[in-house]
Amino acid sequence: MPQILDGARVRDDIKAELKPRVAALAAAGRPPGLVVVLVGHNPASEIYVRNKIKACEDLGIYSETLRPPQSVTTGELLETIGQLNSRPEIDGILVQLPLPPQIDGKGVLQAVSPEKDVDGIHPCNAGRLVAGLPGPRACTPAGIIEILKRYQVPIAGRRAVVVGRSDIVGKPVALLLLHQHATVTICHSKTPDLAAVCREAEILVAAMGRPAMITGDFIRPGATVVDVGTTRVENREEIARIFRNSTEKLAVFDKRGGVLVDVHPLDVVEKAGAYTPVPGGVGPLTIAMLMVNTVASAERRCGRC
């Protein structure tokens, strides 16, 4: 059986390490402060934001959630971001994606002060990542590196393949792996013979967003497979096909109305040497690394770095 890389365990370790840092900041003057801007009522975003708020409460981080209406304009949102940039007690600003279609998303994200960009996606911070300079890193990619390190998965000198080239996951995780001295290939929808390229990977990161696209034919025996797992499948017949009519998974589907699938969940167990499960793998670390970025921002801004 392959080793399961338990993201929930790593998350709990990270939170335990953060608590004394938060307490020290509070004793020195104030706790770290995080504001989440949530536009409209996207159900998935609502759940994610609730989990962020709970993580802040657990650690003693001050948090606010601003909820502009779905009809908000780009100008109104930019005004809100400007106000948050000027508030000295706020160390982190996170604009929850996706934004409504009438919003200039890139303009809004770039309006966040780079020093308060705890999502690590501002162009200034992306540039610092490229240059190998200190700064907040995109949360999901940073969590991927964290789980590999804490499970002592060798990275230096290993062949890593990243499937997906998004600005939020694919590109930054490729750079982080490169900084850890892996030999990195980025694949995407136009990559010829994608399965053959993936089979070369000792570390395979799947962030393509196509359910069960990464099958056993893509996985090198014994490879470490990191499943970002953000694709929600809401078709019962598709779930039955992917999970080979598993009564357990069908019961989960019937209860929740959908299941997250990216890497083929049964093939990865048969072929990988280690893997991150869905749920419970990379997901918990995204919020944990958001907390890390928020605390680090507070320490920098309070002169305690």
pLDDT in tens, 147-156: 999 999 999 9
Domains of the chain, by residue range, sit at 30-121, 139-285
| Percent of the chain scoring above 90 in pLDDT | 77
- How many angstroms from the chain centroid is the CA of residue 169? 7
Catalytic residue among 117, 119, 227, 267: 119
| Amino acid in position 128 | R
Q: How many CA atoms lie within 13 Å of 125's alpha carbon, on the beta-carbon side? A: 24
Q: Which of 15, 52, 116, 249 is catalytic?
A: 52
pTM: 0.92
Q: What is the per-residue pLDDT across 204-221, written as a single tens digit (0 to 9) for each?
A: 999 987 777 889 999 999
Q: Single out the catalytic residue among 96, 116, 262, 267.
A: 96
Report the pLDDT value the prediction gives residue 243, as an integer from 0 to 100.
84
Tokens 């104030």: give the residue. 30
Locate all alpha helices (DSSP H) within 62-192, ordered by sequence.
74-86, 105-111, 123-131, 139-150, 170-179
Mean pLDDT of 143-171: 97
**Which pLDDT score is estimated for 212?**
79
Q: Is residue 109 predicted with pLDDT exceeding 80?
A: yes
Q: Is 15 assigned a catalytic role?
A: no
Q: Determine contact, residues 173/126, Cβ cutoff 8 Å.
A: no
Closest CA to 39 of 129, 105, 87: 105
Residue 254 bears catalytic tag: no
Going from the C-alpha of 155 to that of each of 5, 53, 184, 209, 274, the distances in angstroms are: 15, 33, 10, 24, 13
Do 30-121 and 139-285 have matching folds?
A: yes
What gap in Å lies between CA 196 and CA 105, rounded to an integer? 36
Please report, for residues 29, 121, 297, 301, the alpha-carbon distance to residue 305 in angstroms, rounded to integers and kept in the order given: 15, 21, 9, 8
So what's the pLDDT on residue 224? 98
Is the four-CA dihedral 293, 141, 169, 253 of positive or negative sign? negative
> Residue 81 pLDDT > 60, yes or no?
yes
Angle at 294 between CA 292 and CA 299, to 5 degrees: 95
Q: Considering the chain, what is the average pLDDT of its residues?
A: 93
Residue 79 above 60 pLDDT? yes
Residue 175 has which token pair?
Answer: 């750079």
Give the pLDDT confidence score for residue 305 in this predicted structure. 46
52 given a catalytic annotation: yes
Q: Which CATH superfamily is domain 139-285 in?
A: NAD(P)-binding Rossmann-like Domain (3.40.50.720)
CATH 3.40.30.10 fits 30-121, yes or no: no
Nearest to 274 by CA among 102, 90, 144, 170: 144
Cα(144)–Cα(151) distance, integer angstroms: 11
Kind of pairing between the strands at 259-260 and 232-233: antiparallel
Q: Is the pLDDT at 300 greater than 80, yes or no? A: yes
221-243 average pLDDT score = 87
